[in-house]
Amino acid sequence: MNILVAVPVPALDLLTYRVPDGMTPPAVGARVVVPLGTRTVTGIVVEGAASVAIDEDDIKPIRQVLDEDAFLPADVIALARWTAEYYAAGPGDTIMAVLPPKTRGGRADSHKTVRVAMITAAGLDASSAAVTPKQRDALDILAGAPAGVPTSQLTARGIGADTVSRLVRNGLASVRQERVDRDPFDAFPFAATMAEADRRLTIEQEAALTRLRAMADSRRFGVALVHGVTGSGKTELYIRLSAAVRASGRSVLMLVPEIALTPAIASLFRQAFGDQVAIQHSGLSDGERHDQWQRIRRGEIDVVVGTRSAVFAPLADIGLIIVDEEHDGSYKQEESPRYNGRDVAIVRGQRTHALLVLGSATPSMESYHNAMSGRYERIVLERRVLDRPLAAVTVVDMREEYAAEGPDAVLSRALKDAVAARIERKEQALVLLNRRGFATAVFCRQCAGTLECPNCSVSLVVHGEGHARRANCHYCNYSTRVPAACPHCAGPYLEQAGFGTERVEAEVKRACPSARVARLDRDAIRRKGALGSLLSRFRDGAIDVLVGTQMIAKGHDFPRVTLVGVVSADVGLGMADFRASERTFQLLTQVAGRAGRGDQPGEAIIQTLYPEHYSIQLACRQDYPAFYERELQFRRAMRYPPLVSIINTIVRSRTFAGAMDDAADLVQRLRAESDRAGFRVLGPAPAPLGRLRGEYRAQFLLKGVNRKAMREALMAAVAARPDLQRRVVVDVDPVSVL
C-alpha cells in the first residue's frame, strides 16, 4: 500500500512511499520519516492508500510514523493543497509554510519545562515534630496548593532545593517536570488603555454589529467589507463580533498585517478573551510560536490573532475570520508559496461556512470592486467615534518651496513651523518619508557616474554621516565604505543626492533643537526589543517627534499626536507599478488618520512635487469613492486588476541574453495557446529590477479573465522546459510587479 507525502523541500512535488508490511498505515496529516535521496526527512501524509501506477519495487518504504493521529488537520492540508495549486507553488514549499516552526525536520514538541513540587498524603499527615521548621514552612505552602508549586517560586520564598529534595527523599513531597507554554504576551511593551466592556457603541457601530451578527448567525459563508474611516472604532466592532461568535460555540481567526506594529490590537483581544487567545506572528521566537500552535491544535484555544501564516492555524470549527487592514501588501508572501493571506482566508471561510470580515479605511481595489458588484456585503463607518473630526490636510507644493528656499530644502517652512508649534504645546508629531537611509544616491560631478550595487541594478544608499558613512544595497545587503574618490574617473567630486529618513531626522533636529526626535524604520529596529521600546517611549511622551517609514502609518493609536507631516508624498508614484497610485492613496490616507485621535484635532501637511495628482488630491480630501472611480478608469483602460487577473513571471539567468531568450521561448509557447484560452501575453522585457543578487531578470505578464486557463498554460510551457524550472518565478495575483 502506498501513500502520498509532502516533504518540506522547495519545489518538490508530492512523493509516493510504501507502507511496509506489518506497519499500521499512518493517518492523513500524520508526520512520517522518509528517505529522500541520501537524506532522511520528515514529511506529512497528504493522501493515504494511493493507487499509483509505478512498479511496486521502485517505491521506497517510509521509515517511521511519528504521530498516531493527524498532526495537521485534514482541512488545513486541503487548504494547503489548494494554495499550492492556485499559486502554482510546489506542495513542498506550501507544507513548509503551513507547519509550525521546529517541527520542520522532525524536531517536534520541544517545550520549556519547570519543576513543580507537590505535597504527598504522607506530607499532609506529617506532624511538626517530624520535620525541621524550614520543611514545615514548605509543607504549609504546598498544602495550600494541591496542584503544586513551581520550585522557582519556593526558592523565591526562601525554600531552597535542598529542603525540597529532603522532603522528596522522606516521601513527604514529590516533584514532577511540567511543560509550560510560553506566553508571548509577556513580551508586549504596553497594555492597551482602551477597551471597557460596557462602552456604548456609536450608532454606526451598533448598526454594523447587528448586520454582521445576523450574517454570522446564519452559519453560511458570506463576505462583508467593513469600510470604516480611521478612528471609526473598527477594532471595538471586531471584538464584540468575536465575542458573539465565540458565545455561539465557534472559533475566531483574526488576521492582522503586523502584530509588532499594532500590539494594541493583540492586547485588546487578550483583555477581552484572556487565555483563550493565541498569537501567531514572526516576531515570536520559534519556541513561543510552537507552543501557541500546539495549544491551538489541542483545541485549548478558540481565538487566534496572527499575521499572514496564521490563516493556516489548526483551528477547528471557525465561525468568523477577520482580515484587518485587508488592503495591506504584507498579506502577500513574497517568496514561494506566493499566497495572499486575505484570499486564502476567503477560501478557508468558504469551506468552514464562516463569516469573512474584511476591514479597512482604504479597501483594496479588488475588495471594493467585489463590494460594488454585490458579491460582498458593504458596511460603511463614515464617522470617527465621539465625532472627532478627520485631520485638516494642507498640501505644500515643493516646486514653490525650492524656488523660495533653494533646491536642497527637505522640510518646508510650513512643516517646520507646525512641528515647532507642537513642541511648544507639548503635543506630538509624526513625520513620514517612505525611504530609508541618509542619501539615496552618490554621483560624481566630473563624470556623472554613480555608486551602483555590484550585484543589483540599483544605486547604493548612504547610511550614517561623517566617518560612519556606508553605502548599502537595499536588495542584497551589499555594503561598502563611501569612497573619497569616484570609482569611475578617480576625481574627488563625489556628491550625495536624494534623502531618506535619516536625513529627515537630522533636519527635524536642526529645525527644532529642543525637540526629542527619534526614528522608526527597519534600520532603527534591528535590535530585538527596539521596536517595542520606541513605541512605548513615544506613547509615554518621552519622544516628541517620530520620524519614520510607512511603519509609522500602521494602525497605531497615539492620542497626543496632532500633526502628521509627509515629506515626499510622491515617493511611490515614480515606480513602474500599476498599484503605485493606489498605494500612495492608501499610505497618505492612513497616515493622515494617525493625527487627532485624542481630544485635540489633528493636522496633516503633505509635501509633494505633484500636488495635482489624483491620488494626492483625493487622499487629502479623504474621498475614497472618488479615488476608486478614477483609479478604476485607469485599470480598465490598461487592463489591470480588478478587471482582469494577471500572472507575473520572472526568468532568472546569469546573463542578460540568457534571461531574455528563455523568457522569449516561454512566451512563444504561450502565444500559441493564448488566443484559444482567451488571455494576452505582454513581454518579454527586462524586469524593472533588471539585475538582482547577481542574476539578470526578464519578465512577462499574462492578463485575462480566466486565471485557471492562464495558470495551466503557463505550467505547461514551463513543464516543456524542465531546465528552466528552478529559474522561473511565477507570481499569481501579484501585489507588485517590480
Q: Should residue 234 be labelled a site residue for ligand ADP when binding is judged by CB under 6 A? A: yes
The binder of ligand ADP chosen from 27, 50, 78, 194 (CB under 6 A)? 194
CB closer to ligand ADP, 238 vs 443? 238
Torsion sign, CA atoms 227, 232, 238, 241: negative
Q: Should residue 596 be labelled a site residue for ligand ADP when binding is judged by CB under 6 A? A: no
Angle, CA 52 vertex, CA 9 and CA 348 arms, to 5°: 55
Q: Should residue 202 be labelled a site residue for ligand ADP when binding is judged by CB under 6 A? A: yes
Q: Should residue 478 be labelled a site residue for Zn ion when binding is judged by CB under 5 A? A: yes
455 binds, among Zn ion, ligand ADP, none (CB under 5 to 8 A by kind): Zn ion
Question: How far is Cα 447 from Cα 460, in angstroms, rounded to an integer?
Answer: 17
Instruction: Give the shortest CB-486-to-Zn ion separation in angstroms.
Output: 20
Question: How far is Cα 211 from Cα 377, in angstroms, rounded to an integer?
Answer: 10
Question: How far is Cα 329 from Cα 534, in angstroms, rounded to an integer?
Answer: 24
Neighbour tally for 152: CB within 10 Å: 10
Taking CB under 5 A as the binding criterion, the range among 137-145, 181-189, 421-429, 475-483 that sits at the site for Zn ion is 475-483
CB closer to Zn ion, 153 vs 455? 455
228 binds, among Zn ion, ligand ADP, none (CB under 5 to 8 A by kind): ligand ADP
Instruction: Give the shortest CB-457-to-Zn ion separation in angstroms.
Output: 9
Neighbour tally for 101: CB within 10 Å: 16
CB closer to ligand ADP, 284 vs 619? 619
As to burial, measured by CB atoms within 10 angstroms (0-12 exposed, 13-18 middle, 19+ buried), residue 285 is middle
The binder of Zn ion chosen from 142, 255, 371, 456 (CB under 5 A)? 456
Among all chains, which residue has been given the C-alpha cell 502584530? Answer: 259
The binder of Zn ion chosen from 120, 165, 450, 455 (CB under 5 A)? 455
678's grid cell: 482567451
Instruction: Give the shortest CB-460-to-Zn ion separation in angstroms.
Output: 8
DSSP state of 410: -
Instruction: Give the shortest CB-495-to-Zn ion separation in angstroms.
Output: 22
Strands 222-228, 355-360: pairing is parallel
Taking CB under 6 A as the binding criterion, the range among 24-32, 121-129, 198-206, 287-295 that sits at the site for ligand ADP is 198-206
Strands 470-472, 461-463: pairing is antiparallel
The binder of ligand ADP chosen from 401, 507, 544, 557 (CB under 6 A)? 557
Restricting to residues 369-408, name those near ligand ADP by CB under 6 A.
385-386
Size of the site for Zn ion (CB under 5 A): 7
Q: Should residue 568 be labelled a site residue for ligand ADP when binding is judged by CB under 6 A? A: no
232 binds, among ligand ADP, Zn ion, none (CB under 5 to 8 A by kind): ligand ADP
CB closer to ligand ADP, 236 vs 603? 236
236 binds, among Zn ion, ligand ADP, none (CB under 5 to 8 A by kind): ligand ADP
Q: Are 82 and 74 in contact (CB under 8 A)?
A: no
Note the residue count of the chain: 738
386 binds, among ligand ADP, Zn ion, none (CB under 5 to 8 A by kind): ligand ADP
CB closer to ligand ADP, 301 vs 391? 391
Question: How far is Cα 100 from Cα 287, in angstroms, rounded to an integer?
Answer: 10
Q: Are 269 and 303 in contact (CB under 8 A)?
A: yes
Q: Should residue 199 be labelled a site residue for ligand ADP when binding is judged by CB under 6 A? A: yes
Q: Which residues contact 425 (CB under 8 A, 6 or more apart)?
A: 562
354 binds, among Zn ion, ligand ADP, none (CB under 5 to 8 A by kind): none
Chain centroid to Cα 575, Å, comes to 22
The H or E element that residue 211 is part of is helix 203-217
The H or E element that residue 270 is part of is helix 263-273
348's grid cell: 478557508
Neighbour tally for 151: CB within 10 Å: 18
Q: Should residue 366 be labelled a site residue for ligand ADP when binding is judged by CB under 6 A? A: no
378's grid cell: 458593504
Taking CB under 6 A as the binding criterion, the range among 195-203, 441-449, 499-507, 634-642 that sits at the site for ligand ADP is 195-203
Neighbour tally for 634: CB within 10 Å: 14
The H or E element that residue 222 is part of is strand 222-228
Q: Should residue 236 be labelled a site residue for ligand ADP when binding is judged by CB under 6 A? A: yes
Question: How far is Cα 415 from Cα 511, in angstroms, rounded to an integer?
Answer: 10
Cα distance from N-terminal residue to C-terminal residue, the chain: 47
CB closer to ligand ADP, 93 vs 324? 324
Q: What are phi and psi of 264, to 5 degrees?
A: -60, -40
**Is the omega angle on the peptide bond into residue 722 within 30 degrees of 0, that is, cis?**
no
Restricting to residues 37-96, name those near ligand ADP by CB under 6 A.
none
164's grid cell: 525540597
Instruction: Give the shortest CB-502-to-ligand ADP separation in angstroms.
Output: 29
Size of the site for ligand ADP (CB under 6 A): 17
231 binds, among Zn ion, ligand ADP, none (CB under 5 to 8 A by kind): ligand ADP
CB closer to ligand ADP, 42 vs 230? 230
The binder of ligand ADP chosen from 12, 168, 175, 201 (CB under 6 A)? 201
Q: Should residue 235 be labelled a site residue for ligand ADP when binding is judged by CB under 6 A? A: yes
352 binds, among Zn ion, ligand ADP, none (CB under 5 to 8 A by kind): none
385 binds, among Zn ion, ligand ADP, none (CB under 5 to 8 A by kind): ligand ADP
Residues at the interface with Zn ion (CB under 5 A): 453, 455-456, 473, 475-476, 478
Interaction site with ligand ADP (CB under 6 A): 194, 199-202, 205, 228, 230-236, 385-386, 557
